[in-house]
Amino acid sequence: MPSSFSSSFLLLCISLPLLLLLLLLLPSCSSNHLPYGSVSFHIDCGGPTPSTDRFGTEWVADRYFTGGAAGIVSEPLRFSLPQEKTLRYFPLSSGKKNCYIIPGLPDGRYYFRTFTVYDNYDGRSHPPSFEAAVEGTTVFGWRTPWPSGVAQTGAYSDLLAFVRDGEAGVCFYSIATDPPVIGSLSILQIDPESYNSDSINGTDFILVNYGRLDCGSGQWGPGFSNDTDLFGRSWQSDYNSRTPSTRKIIDAISTSASIKGTDQAPNYFPMKLYQTAVTLGQSGVIEYELEVDAKLDYMLWLHFAEIDSRVNKIGQRVFDVVVNGENVTQIDIFKQVGAFAPFDWNYIVKNLSSSFLNVKLVPVVGVPLISGLENYALVPIDLSTDPNQVIAMRALKESLRVPDRMGWNGDPCAPTGWDAWEGITCRPNKDRSSLIIYQIDVASQGLKGFISNQISLLSDLVSLNLSSNSLGGALPSGLGQKSLVRLDLSNNQFTGPIPDTLTVSHLQLVLLNNNLLEGRVPEELYSVGVHGGAIDVSGNKGLCGIPPLPDCPMFWENGGLSSGGKIAIGLSCLVVFSVLLLLGYICCIRRRRHDYDFALPHELMSLSAKRNKYQRQKSLMLLEMESQHAKALPSPFSPR
């Protein structure tokens, strides 16, 4: 049956691309045993092909980046894992800001791990200075020179952050023209309740790893060993964090017995963490010193399990936990959970006065014991750009065909510590809950596209300057937000009529000169000058209606004779009569217009003549306008 054939064919036509799309969007589920969401990505930055490492982690070839180029470390043999040997770097020709943006993710909490490596890949012996941000909040700062070990062999960093906009963004910002580098990037969805504490709301912070130690063990975890950690966390040896006096008396112990109740929601702390521990062979104090940045607050997690079978009663092992000299709790593991069971305790450390965080376990009964210790910096979430304005800016990036060198990648305004996209000025909104686009100035950038109608979403835009490009197409009706005060579209190839929407804004300066616009200049736009502003529509062959432009032909609207007009002219003298009436009406308006004493031919000409002066005084003028624009500041060429 031809009809059923065609309908199934149609179905195929619809479903096949959908399926392909789904496959494309579907994250690679490399570990299907993940407890939460099972979304994971391992990106081999700079890597040309997908690979599986010797621990079974599947790496995808380099993708999801906004620019830059692939590089290879200078001594690949120094690196044991293939994904560590390649990297991506972002030279200034790719823009000051570049990102990895992984789309199509369910919102929720994620574990991010980056590998940052230099190893003189560019032969310049100059490890770069740059910053990295996750989800619009600056989390890492690299400054040249790097510690020599790190510069040669690279370093892993990880953190926990919420994704709320369906895509994970890791962005890099070049400092002093240095190209940022990245060796690999992994992200894994984790339980949104994980690492929550009673005293802070985890959604307000990014938790940056400042030490994740498994006491009495070597480094392990997914990507480094065959041991499982269902969150993909890596665990380091605690050796380097022990104070020298502790190193002398420490006694590392381990068990192969299983620990009841590990690997459970929401934190899925792995059993291996509790199967080793450090304790003391003689009486004394276990003391750790962790390097921190004193400007931040920290979340400390201590992990315990009684794995010494000689301790089998409450009160046999009791010790105080002293953080930076302050006794914060007393712990009896057996009293809390019995033996061979995990006990986790967390504490928020505020108001640090030095760059070390000191943790001491002071014995009360017996000797102390500890299995693991985690320390996270609490980095407050930065403001990000209003989501609608992000949509608008992405549409404009496409439609204006903004070149790579301008670095229009990631969030247009965030992080607040970085410059916004080149040519963009941002501000916090009224209730300081998000950032908004205030000004766009991309004049003389060789742009060849058009203005997307999505520009209407920029509801706080005050000033738009696209002058002296090669932009074309019609002016969208989306232009004319109430906030707009200055509009400079001069010296482009815009065609079609001036949209009526432009007349609803509070424009003070409208420069549309030297384009290919046509049709009647809207009356209200014309009155801009009356309110102390200025307008220039010269150099457009097709415009009409205001002096010194020619009068508009009858029934001229939106750049052409209206169809109603054509019919009317062809039909009856009744219409001719109304035309005469209308003509009279137009004359009335024009006479009224002369009453305004506005924009006489010589004044419009002198406006163009003054253009150069305005350019030179731009910064001063902008300053003045910004402080006074609410009060209708007289512009230097408002007609008098």
Ligand X SMILES: *[C@@H]1O[C@H](CO)[C@@H](O)[C@H](O)[C@H]1NC(C)=O
Shorter beta-carbon distance to ligand X: residue 178 or 332: 332
Sheet with 97-102, strands from edge to edge, namely 97-102, 168-174, 130-134, 137-142
Instruction: Note the Cα 331 to chain centre separation in Å.
Output: 42
Shorter beta-carbon distance to ligand X: residue 88 or 109: 109
Contacts of 567 (CB under 8 A, 6+ apart): none
Question: Contact 121/69 with Cβ under 8 angstroms?
Answer: no
- Burial class from Cβ neighbours inside 10 Å (0-12, 13-18, 19+) for residue 328 reads middle
The one segment of 11-19, 256-264, 394-402, 436-444 that binds ligand X by CB under 6 A: 436-444
639: helix, coil or strand? coil
Shorter beta-carbon distance to ligand X: residue 142 or 220: 220
Query: Which residues are bridge partners to 298 per DSSP?
Result: 349, 377
The two tokens of residue 20 are: 């392909």
β-pairing, 534-536 vs 509-511, is parallel
Q: For the CB of residue 330, give the shortest distance to ligand X in the complex, in Å.
A: 4
Judged by CB under 6 A, the chain residues 242 through 301 that form the site for ligand X are none
Shorter beta-carbon distance to ligand X: residue 148 or 226: 226
β-pairing, 184-190 vs 40-44, is antiparallel
25 vs 34: CA distance, rounded Å: 19
467 vs 612: CA distance, rounded Å: 14
- Within a 13 Å sphere around the CA of 405, how many CA atoms are in the beta-carbon half? 6
Contacts of 52 (CB under 8 A, 6+ apart): 58, 59
Contacts of 459 (CB under 8 A, 6+ apart): 388, 389, 436, 481, 482, 483
Question: Contact 59/47 with Cβ under 8 angstroms?
Answer: yes
Please count the residues of this chain forming the interface with ligand X, following the rule CB under 6 A: 23
640 vs 632: CA distance, rounded Å: 14
Q: For the CB of residue 201, give the shortest distance to ligand X in the complex, in Å.
A: 4
248: phi then psi, degrees, rounded to nearest 5: -70, -35
Q: For the CB of residue 184, give the shortest distance to ligand X in the complex, in Å.
A: 18
317 vs 14: CA distance, rounded Å: 67
- If binding is defined by CB under 6 A, does position 55 make contact with ligand X? yes
| Residue whose CB is nearest to ligand X in the complex, by number | 443
Q: For the CB of residue 322, give the shortest distance to ligand X in the complex, in Å.
A: 8
Shorter beta-carbon distance to ligand X: residue 319 or 418: 319
Shorter beta-carbon distance to ligand X: residue 122 or 422: 422
Judged by CB under 6 A, the chain residues 199 through 228 that form the site for ligand X are 201, 203, 226
- If binding is defined by CB under 6 A, does position 241 make contact with ligand X? no
Shorter beta-carbon distance to ligand X: residue 119 or 488: 488
Whole-number Cα distances in Å, 565 to 246, 267, 574, 581 = 95, 73, 13, 14
Question: Contact 522/500 with Cβ under 8 angstroms?
Answer: yes
Q: For the CB of residue 555, give the shortest distance to ligand X in the complex, in Å.
A: 34
Q: For the CB of residue 348, give the shortest distance to ligand X in the complex, in Å.
A: 8
138: helix, coil or strand? strand
Q: For the CB of residue 483, give the shortest distance to ligand X in the complex, in Å.
A: 15
255 vs 579: CA distance, rounded Å: 100
User: Which string of x and - marks every residue 463-502 that binds ligand X (by CB under 6 A)?
Assistant: --x-x------------------x-x--------------
Q: For the CB of residue 329, give the shortest distance to ligand X in the complex, in Å.
A: 5
- If binding is defined by CB under 6 A, does position 330 make contact with ligand X? yes
Determine which residue in the list 3, 32, 282, 351 makes contact with ligand X, applying CB under 6 A: 351
Q: For the CB of residue 489, give the shortest distance to ligand X in the complex, in Å.
A: 10
DSSP state of 348: E
378 vs 363: CA distance, rounded Å: 30
Instruction: Note the Cα 37 to chain centre separation in Å.
Output: 23
Q: For the CB of residue 536, give the shortest distance to ligand X in the complex, in Å.
A: 10
183 vs 87: CA distance, rounded Å: 4
Q: For the CB of residue 412, give the shortest distance to ligand X in the complex, in Å.
A: 19
Determine which residue in the list 6, 52, 283, 329 makes contact with ligand X, applying CB under 6 A: 329
Shorter beta-carbon distance to ligand X: residue 409 or 513: 513
Q: For the CB of residue 433, give the shortest distance to ligand X in the complex, in Å.
A: 11
The one segment of 40-48, 64-72, 324-332, 517-525 that binds ligand X by CB under 6 A: 324-332
Determine which residue in the list 33, 310, 350, 631 makes contact with ligand X, applying CB under 6 A: 350
Whole-number Cα distances in Å, 249 to 226, 252, 282 = 31, 10, 7
The one segment of 9-17, 131-139, 405-413, 439-447 that binds ligand X by CB under 6 A: 439-447
- If binding is defined by CB under 6 A, does position 628 make contact with ligand X? no
The one segment of 124-132, 401-409, 437-445, 571-579 that binds ligand X by CB under 6 A: 437-445
DSSP H/E element including 359:
strand 356-365
**Vertex 514: Cα angle to 508 and 517 (nearest 5):** 85
> Which regions of 532-632 does DSSP assign to beta strands (E)?
534-536, 542-544, 556-557, 560-561
Shorter beta-carbon distance to ligand X: residue 283 or 615: 615
- If binding is defined by CB under 6 A, does position 443 make contact with ligand X? yes
Shorter beta-carbon distance to ligand X: residue 253 or 443: 443
Shorter beta-carbon distance to ligand X: residue 562 or 617: 617
Shorter beta-carbon distance to ligand X: residue 199 or 578: 199
User: Which string of x and - marks every residue 4-43 that binds ligand X (by CB under 6 A)?
Assistant: ----------------------------------------
Residue with tokens 């690949």: 76
Residue with tokens 């000191």: 358
The one segment of 14-22, 41-49, 323-331, 524-532 that binds ligand X by CB under 6 A: 323-331
Determine which residue in the list 80, 177, 254, 444 makes contact with ligand X, applying CB under 6 A: 444
Q: For the CB of residue 262, give the shortest distance to ligand X in the complex, in Å.
A: 21
350 vs 323: CA distance, rounded Å: 11
Shorter beta-carbon distance to ligand X: residue 105 or 511: 511
Judged by CB under 6 A, the chain residues 592 through 621 that form the site for ligand X are 614-615, 618
Tell me which residues touch ligand X (CB under 6 A).
Answer: 54-55, 201, 203, 226, 320, 327, 329-330, 350-351, 441, 443-444, 465, 467, 486, 488, 509, 511, 614-615, 618
